[in-house]
């Protein structure tokens, strides 16, 4: 086994524990992985699932930057629209008797 297991492999091991009911000690022996590593992966998985059900969302820095850029574009568009509406309001207000 390589030094660092892939996320897919971690997910497979976690699902064996969570969904199949395998014991972490048994899997550690069979797969040659530290028991503490398996327990940590299971805890992280359960924390993530709990956060998803509570509406908390884990966001990567790249996703956060993309979301921030999207919000800034929307803000600029709304500010421009607001400025146009203000100008139109002044034009129509001047033409009133």
**Mean of pLDDT values over 4-11:** 88
* Count of other CB atoms within 10 angstroms of residue 9: 15
Residue ranges of domains in the chain: 1-57, 59-97
Percent of the chain with pLDDT over 70: 94
The four Cα atoms 54, 60, 64, 67 give a dihedral, to 10 degrees, of: -80
24 close to 38: Cβ distance less than 8 angstroms: yes
pLDDT in tens, 58-69: 778 888 899 999
pLDDT at 2 over 60: no
**pTM of the predicted model, to two decimals?**
0.53
On average, the pLDDT of the chain sits at 87
Only one residue has tokens 């009911």, namely 21
**In CATH, which of 1.10.101, 1.10.10, 2.60.40, 2.30.30 is domain 1-57?**
1.10.10
């Amino acid at each position: 086994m390589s030094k660092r297991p892939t996320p897919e492999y971690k997910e497979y091991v976690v699902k064996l524990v969570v969904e199949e009911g395998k014991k972490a000690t048994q899997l550690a022996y069979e797969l040659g992985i530290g028991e503490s590593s398996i327990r940590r992966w299971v805890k992280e998985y359960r924390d993530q699932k709990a956060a998803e059900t509570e509406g908390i969302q884990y966001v990567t820095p790249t996703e956060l930057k993309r979301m921030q850029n999207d919000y800034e574009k929307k803000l600029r568009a709304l500010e421009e629209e607001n400025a146009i509406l203000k100008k139109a309001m002044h034009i129509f207000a001047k033409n009133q008797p």
